[in-house]
């Protein structure tokens, strides 16, 4: 059986190999199209869930679509102690972020925008992630071995640190990886982009 049938050509606007893997898991054909240099600034008074939604909408506005295309943009943040942990600027910054997450529960929020030439919609999904207390040696090992400078909050849940550190997770695991694929699938079905009829 071939993949799921879609009514539009799906465009994923992301450099993330994890998002590509997750979208591919829905068994739909898609093309990756990336524009560099899109600002990821946001108004500082936005509540937690609105931040990644805002950024995903701004990313979406940078693209010009054909009538038969649908664009997916996403942004993921880590939220702890009332503030955002973005991507660390250095290994030392990554170690500091992981110390802030150690022994506590934080929120991972992914905002997604789906857009065509006729309409767009945005949503956010929140997952609670609890870490065990991490030793400095464990933190240094992970940062040195995995160099998580491209990841919000300085960690990938699917990597070593997730295996040894995550004691609990409430919500979507795939959301923590960077794309809430169940919610995305539901939205695509709701807008008649994906058909679940037998091919």
DSSP letters spanning the chain = ----EESSEEEE----HHHHHHHHTTT--EEE---S-------TT--TTHHHHHHHHHHHHT----TTEEEEEEEEEEEETTEEE---SSHHHHHHHHHHHTTSEEEEEEEEEEE-SS-EEEEEEEEEEEEPPPPHHHHHHHHHHH--TTSGGG--TTSHHHHHHEEEEES-HHHHHT--HHHHHHHHHHTTSEE-S--
Cα(188)–Cα(30) distance, rounded to whole angstroms?
A: 13
Residues with catalytic function: 75
Cα(120)–Cα(151) distance, rounded to whole angstroms?
A: 27
Tell me which residue has tokens 């009332």.
82
∠ at Cα 189 (185, 190), nearest 5°? 115
Cα(76)–Cα(80) distance, rounded to whole angstroms?
A: 13
The encoded tokens of residue 138 equal 């464990």
Q: What's the whole-model pTM score?
A: 0.93
pLDDT score at 3: 78
pLDDT score at 199: 46
Contact 88, 94 (CB under 8 A): yes
How high is the mean pLDDT in each 10-residue block of the chain (199 residues)?
86 95 96 91 94 96 97 97 94 98 98 98 98 98 96 96 98 97 97 76
The radius of gyration of the chain's CA atoms, rounded to the nearest angstrom, is 17
Strand partners, 9: 69
């Amino acid at each position: 059986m071939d993949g799921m049938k879609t009514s539009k050509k799906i465009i994923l606007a992301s450099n993330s190999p994890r998002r590509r893997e997750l979208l591919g898991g829905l068994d739909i054909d898609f093309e990756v199209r990336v524009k560099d240099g899109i600002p990821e600034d946001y108004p500082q008074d936005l509540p937690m869930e609105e931040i990644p939604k805002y950024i995903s909408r701004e990313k979406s506005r940078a693209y010009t679509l054909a009538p038969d295309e649908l664009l997916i943009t996403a942004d993921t943040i880590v939220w702890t102690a009332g503030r955002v942990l973005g991507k660390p600027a250095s290994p030392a910054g990554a170690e500091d972020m992981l110390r802030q997450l150690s022994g506590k529960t934080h929120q991972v929020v992914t905002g997604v925008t789906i857009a065509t030439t006729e309409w767009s919609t945005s949503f956010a999904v929140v997952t609670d992630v609890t870490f065990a207390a991490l030793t400095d040696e464990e933190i240094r090992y992970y940062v040195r071995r995995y160099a998580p400078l491209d990841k919000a909050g300085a960690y990938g849940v699917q990597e070593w640190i997730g295996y040894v550190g995550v004691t609990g997770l409430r919500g979507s695991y795939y959301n923590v990886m960077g794309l809430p694929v169940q919610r995305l699938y539901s939205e695509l079905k709701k807008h008649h982009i994906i058909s679940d009829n037998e091919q």
